[in-house]
Amino acid sequence: MRNVAVIGVGMTKWGELWEKSLRDIFVETALLAIEDAGVDRIDSMYVGCMSSGLFIGQEHLASLLPDYLGRNPVPAVRVESACSSGGLALRQGFIDVASGMSDIVLVGGVEKMTDVNGHEATYALGTAADQEYESYHGLTFPGLYAMMAHAHMAKYGTTREQLAMVAVKNHDNGSKNPLAQFPFKITVEGVLGSVLVADPLRVLDCSPITDGAAAVILCPSDMAKRMKKPAVRIAGSGQATDTIALSSRKDITWIESTHIAAQKALAMAGRKVEDIDLFEVHDCFTIAEIMVSEALGIVERGQGGKAVQEGLTSLQGKFPVNPSGGLKAKGHPVGATGVAQAVEVVKQLRGEAGARQVGGAKLGLTQNMGGTGGSSVVHIFEAE
């Protein structure tokens, strides 16, 4: 198996991009990644997209996107695994290069979510849950994560204020990211006073509806060295699944798929979680970041809320989590999130993250998950 490097990244500002179509935002970011990599060909493409059929009525992205990128007849694959579609697309691109099947691979992620109303967006996102045993009975993702939050609070003493501190931290980081959808700071009081969505979660505990795309270019590490590019190696990749229904889990305060995927990725990289300099994780709701930090092994079970309160996961802390602003402030165009996490980590490891730069960063981790953790993908990146 060949070593695989990221040699190009591309991302534009996320938000409510009324004037652009899905194909527009994908092509724009793909061209940025190609330019950054300095390559003149692509051998294959993988694109993460959760639900273009429900959001914009368009399927067959494996034909549409290479067509509008001007790259026909390159082979292309649309990858779907709910909100972990982007992370899984990255894993598939990694496998393609590592296996020797392709030398230069474009991995993208894209979602256009604001062309439908809020009810339709909620329905589309709800397809990542168990339709017969959850969605049919009226459960939405805020409701599912609210149950996880209540269980975590009851079992470990996690507080409502600690949930708010996750949002405050990530908005502070996002205020330093010019590409973030919401690049402004908030307060604990502001979170606690925001509109209630599903008790205990309020609107400022929730990631937004977002349009956006992100892209990376992968190639073998030895090729990157010959090109004299500031390459970042993908040192480890791990994937795991769990039950789609939250009610089927042994413990709804624990994300087993993330724990297993992280162990696989760390083992491949020959690293421990203590070696990692920064983390980009799936904070679709504030409780999610707390639970993910525990599943990754950053802290012990039940200590995620305390870690945020004590500053352990702040930009200046021992384990910086979501320097980009995370899904909470950067935005969450569901199919693009996993690829955007990789873009942020690569920028950090190249020393190009500006005001949110983590000093001396050499190793980074991304964690992207679908639903309530029914699928998880973890990657380890290392500066070369």
**Which residue numbers are catalytic?**
83, 332
CA distance 384 to 363: 10
DSSP string spanning 43-96? SEEEEE-S-HHHHHS---HHHHHHHHHT-TT--EEEE-BTBTHHHHHHHHHHHH
Q: What share of the chain is helix, strand, coil (3-state, %, to 5)?
A: 40, 20, 40
Phi then psi for residue 350, to 5 deg, are: -90, 0
- DSSP-derived pairing of the beta strands 278-280 and 363-370: parallel
Are residues 383 and 232 in contact, defined by beta-carbon separation less than 8 angstroms? yes
48: exposed, middle or buried (Cβ count in 10 Å: 0-12, 13-18, 19+)? buried
Which strands make up the sheet holding 278-280, listed edge to edge? 76-79, 44-48, 105-112, 211-220, 4-11, 232-241, 375-383, 363-370, 278-280
Closest alpha carbon to 87 in 354, 362, 345: 345
CA distance 101 to 144: 40
- How many angstroms separate the first and last alpha carbons of the chain? 18
Are residues 287 and 141 in contact, defined by beta-carbon separation less than 8 angstroms? no
